[in-house]
Structure 1
Amino acid sequence: MQAAFWLTVGLLCLTVEGLAIARKPQPCRSPPLFRGTFTVGSQNEKFGAVGRFAYDALQQRIHLGEMGTYNNKSYTYNTLFLFEESVMYEINDKEQTCVKKALQSDFHPMAVPKGATFVSQVVLGSSSGPGQGLLVNNWWGNVPGQGNYMVTFSEFGCYPVSSLSQTKEFGWMSVSYFDNVLGAEPHWFIPPPFCADAELVESEDGKVTDFFSAFH
């Protein structure tokens, strides 16, 4: 009888342990095609912005439209990144002008970075009732030469929720994503007609533009 009792306890422990392992969140990748809204802010208050984005991992394209402040000066920015063509377009719809620049940057899918460590799983909002909260996973990591970061993705769908990363110029940078919608219209990724005659130019400092400079 005792043997049967301890065998049952042992099996229950193994079952609980197995469920815990099975439930541990695993690194994920966002849907290949979606759009949404974002806000960006820096620790030193030198930079802040709000805007919309469209993301296409299938053909490696990203479109950013934002407005904000940089060093106490207001700006608007409309940028299309075409990674497969290694070019980016800075688009001014009001003036009907377009600047085409070389893009030297690999496409990085929206996903939990390789090497990131799982930190915690929490509910944003409330878990008291259906539809009252969002289940998310927090991940922590380090980029050599740059600093630490923390990213948060939804448990279901793997949509980005927020990111926090260290930078040399701004200190900690915070990005929040919201109103994500699956899919994106093709026109988001097509340069407007007035960009057809744009010639490839270098950036003002003579360096080839990369993706992350778009946030500066």
Structure 2
Amino acid sequence: MLIFYGHPFSSYTWKALIALYEKDIPFDYRSVDPEFPAHMPELKAHWPVGQFPLIVHDGVPVFESSIIIEYLDHLIPEPRMIPEGFEAALRVRFFDRIFDLHVMNKMQAVVADALRGPEAHVPAIRTECEAALENVYGWLDKELAGGGWATPYGFTLADCAAAPSLFYADWLYRIPEHYENLCGYRARLLAYPSVKRCVDDARPYRAYFPLGAPDRD
């Protein structure tokens, strides 16, 4: 059976889990929460950096969330997370990068700053992040004007990336109500069964959010 290492509150863990749930692939979930101290050393035996998610299939480790999802498409082709056609696949990968680099990673920089504690806090990081998120929110609102999912190709890798990105980024810098398309897209994502499952499974860990999890979602 495929082994999966991750944490229920981790945004990139969600990204890979959503694809696993979409494909209904059975797996052994080994949470790296401190409650399970044996699992992180196992993960580091495969990838000394210690980042997750990581899967092990037939003894071979695969890590980095986008690569994991592409590997899952190879194992179980349907439903496809990355379309077969060049232009469609390029569009999906493009949005995957937008959500990871310009939404998720911006949010994580502020979380990392908060975790460093008040003595090492750099206020400019949050200011710069909020300005960057405002810019990308506006761009996404225009791109998502057609409703539906991130691309015209159904629920894909792009949406796997978007769900945790927008979930947590909105906690940090709430999406302004006038970005109706983006707000609607986030709401559709959170109502989607595989995403809702991740949201619900992460509820016990909300105290981990160093900036204070809002009383919503």
TM-score, normalised to structure 2, is 0.22
Point out the structure with max Rg over C-alpha: 1
